[in-house]
């Protein structure tokens, strides 16, 4: 169940601002430039990872200046929790990835398990190549099973929310990024 309105407001009031809306937009434009430089001749299939990547994907797509196909996948390890759990596939990648260059879009690369599982699945279904772009890469000093090809910003090892990332189901809609104190 999602958090109550008052609890959500209390969480935001007590949180620390990590990245302003302007910093978020600068990072978004940086990623768009990098993707445009690397994939402009490939006509990729872009797969957005719901629900966290919805804001990142929605703002990134208009900045990409090449033809692409778009679809989504929905996998979660968090739900409304603050720690990752069992991988739950709601909408898995399907055969449309075969022989395609695929670009996975996700909100944050934390431990890397979700992105690694997605890449493995896409490649197992016959994708020619799989790239990944994350809005944020969390730096916690532990090894990750995968690294993103394109990264907007690096964040400290804190529980963060805003710009697509939620806290207890709330605040995906914030234009900036906050951390729980």
The residue among 72, 112, 111 whose CA lies nearest residue 90 is 72
Domain count for the chain: 1
Confidence at residue 25, expressed as pLDDT on a 0 to 100 scale: 98
Report the chain's mean pLDDT, rounded to a whole number: 90
Mean pLDDT confidence for 19-43: 98
- Which element (helix H / strand E) includes 77? none
First to last CA, the chain: 23
pLDDT higher than 70, residue 85: no
H-helix segments, the chain:
5-14, 21-39, 54-60, 113-124
Split at pLDDT 50, 70, 90, the class of 52 is confident
**Residue 117: φ, ψ to 5°:** -65, -40
The residue among 73, 71, 59, 15 whose CA lies nearest residue 152 is 59
Mean pLDDT confidence for 52-61: 96
CB atoms within 10 A of CB 46: 22
Q: What percent of the chain has pLDDT over 70?
A: 87
Strands 101-109 and 69-76: unpaired
Residues 6+ apart with CB under 8 A from 25: none
Domain boundaries, position 44:
5-179
Q: What is the CA radius of gyration of the chain?
A: 16
Split at pLDDT 50, 70, 90, the class of 78 is low
Confidence at residue 90, expressed as pLDDT on a 0 to 100 scale: 63
DSSP state of 40: T
Q: pLDDT digits over 91-123, tens only?
A: 666 668 999 999 999 999 998 988 999 999 999
Split at pLDDT 50, 70, 90, the class of 60 is very high
Tallying the residues shown for the chain, one arrives at 181
CATH number where 34 lies: 3.40.50.2020
Confidence at residue 166, expressed as pLDDT on a 0 to 100 scale: 92
Confidence at residue 91, expressed as pLDDT on a 0 to 100 scale: 64
């Amino acid at each position: 169940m999602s958090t109550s309105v008052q609890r959500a407001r209390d969480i935001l009031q007590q949180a620390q601002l990590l990245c302003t809306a302007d910093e978020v937009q600068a990072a978004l434009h940086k990623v768009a430039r990098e993707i445009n430089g690397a994939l402009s001749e490939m006509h990729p299939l872009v797969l957005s990872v719901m629900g966290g990547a919805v804001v990142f994907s929605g703002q990134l797509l208009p900045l990409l200046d090449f033809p692409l196909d778009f679809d989504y996948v929905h996998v979660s390890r968090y739900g409304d929790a603050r720690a990752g759990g069992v991988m739950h596939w709601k909408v898995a990648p399907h055969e449309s990835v075969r022989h395609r260059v695929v670009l996975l879009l996700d909100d944050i690369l934390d431990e890397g398990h979700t992105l690694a599982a997605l890449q493995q699945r896409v490649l197992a279904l016959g994708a020619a190549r799989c790239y990944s772009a994350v809005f944020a890469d969390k730096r916690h000093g532990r090894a990750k099973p995968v690294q993103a090809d394109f990264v907007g910003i690096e964040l400290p090892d804190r529980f963060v929310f805003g710009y697509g990332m939620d806290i207890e189901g709330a605040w995906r809609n914030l234009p900036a990024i906050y951390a729980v104190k």
